[in-house]
Amino acid sequence: MKEVQEARRIKMLHQPSKVMDMEHELRALRMQLAEKSKCSLQLQKELARSRRGEQSIFQLFELDGAEALGSCLRINPCSDNAPELSECSIQWYRLSSEDVKKALISGATKPVYAPEPFDVGRVLQAEIISEGQQFTLTTTCAIDPAAGLGSYVEALVRKHDVEFNVVVTQMNGLDHTSESIHVLHVGKMRMKLRKGKLSIAKEYYSTSMQLCGVRGGGNAAAQALFWQAKKGLSFVLAFESARERNAAIMLARRFAFR
């Protein structure tokens, strides 16, 4: 067997033109396969869009951004004929895994949306309305979780009280100019916001309390959350990272559920 392989190798060495032809053919075949794979992926996306009723041929808008927790999704015009987004009505929705039911995301009416933990495993959809025309954009897949976030939260759950350094960017809907560091406590019974030894807010979990990711706000939205401690008292808090923002939301919701 070795002698046969060696004889073939020697024969091929004496036929360099055939070797080169084979290499060229192999390279061309690889390029064709790569192109077909790219086209197949694009067709799958177009088919998914058409099944959801989107305008796949004359699309005026597109979704940009990683479809994962910790990122931002942005609606961008992709045609010169696209209307100005500032003049459009926008609403984001969550879709069930079967794409049968869709739930309105309260307050998500901006061209930018930062997925939050509740979006993981769900498909997101944005509806754009301009002068009676409706355009629908849908993520190509369900929102992916952030790597390691689950184990990080499980470690924090064992603590009685978890602290996060935050900056208050809004209070009761008004911009907060101070960039001083505050501390947000997420406890098993209540949440508390303080600056130094001064408590700014301290509330037990209740039905009037709201906690979610910031709606809009550009790329910084992935690191910020909206907290309505009680009626008439609300904050927008910016965290050091998207990981801590998402962990705070997950912790508070778990403790409130308990």
Q: List C-alpha distances in Å: 101 to 37, 96, 125, 137, 173.
A: 32, 6, 12, 16, 32
Angle (CA) 100-104-105 rounded to 5° is 130
Taking residues 76-85, report their average pLDDT.
88
Answer yes or no: is 44 within a domain: yes
Whether 153 and 226 map to the same domain: the answer is yes
Asked if residues 237 and 166 have their Cβ atoms less than 8 Å apart, the reply is yes
Whether 160 and 248 map to the same domain: the answer is yes
Answer yes or no: is 187 within a domain: yes
* Residue of higher predicted confidence among 75 and 51: 75
- Using the 8-state DSSP alphabet, how is residue 84 labeled? P
Query: Which domain does 17 fall in, by range?
Result: 2-51
Whether 182 and 128 map to the same domain: the answer is no
Tens of pLDDT along 154-208?
999 998 899 999 999 999 999 988 889 999 999 999 999 999 999 999 999 999 9
CB atoms inside a 10 Å sphere around CB 225? 25
Can you give the CATH number for the domain in which 212 is found?
A: 2.30.29.140
Model confidence at 20, pLDDT cuts 50, 70, 90, reads: low
Sign of CA dihedral 166, 168, 170, 172: positive
Question: How much of the chain, in percent, has pLDDT values that exceed 90?
Answer: 61
Answer yes or no: is 56 within a domain: no
At a CB cut-off of 8 Å and minimum separation 6, what does 193 contact?
166, 168, 182, 183, 184, 185, 199, 200, 201, 202, 227, 229, 235, 237
Whether 110 and 180 map to the same domain: the answer is no
pLDDT value for 43: 53
E strand or H helix that includes residue 22: helix 16-51
Q: List C-alpha distances in Å: 50 to 38, 58, 155, 211.
A: 18, 12, 43, 35
pLDDT value for 37: 46
Domain end call among 138, 157, 173: 138
Can you give the CATH number for the domain in which 92 is found?
A: 2.60.40.2700
Model confidence at 33, pLDDT cuts 50, 70, 90, reads: low
Whether 178 and 245 map to the same domain: the answer is yes
Q: For the chain, give the mean pLDDT.
A: 83
Answer yes or no: is 143 within a domain: no
Domain count, the chain: 3
Amino acid at 167: V
Tens of pLDDT along 99-151?
568 899 999 999 999 999 999 999 999 999 998 889 999 999 999 999 899 99
pLDDT value for 106: 92
At a CB cut-off of 8 Å and minimum separation 6, what does 64 contact?
73, 74, 75, 76
Tens of pLDDT along 203-215?
999 999 999 999 8
Whether 100 and 165 map to the same domain: the answer is no
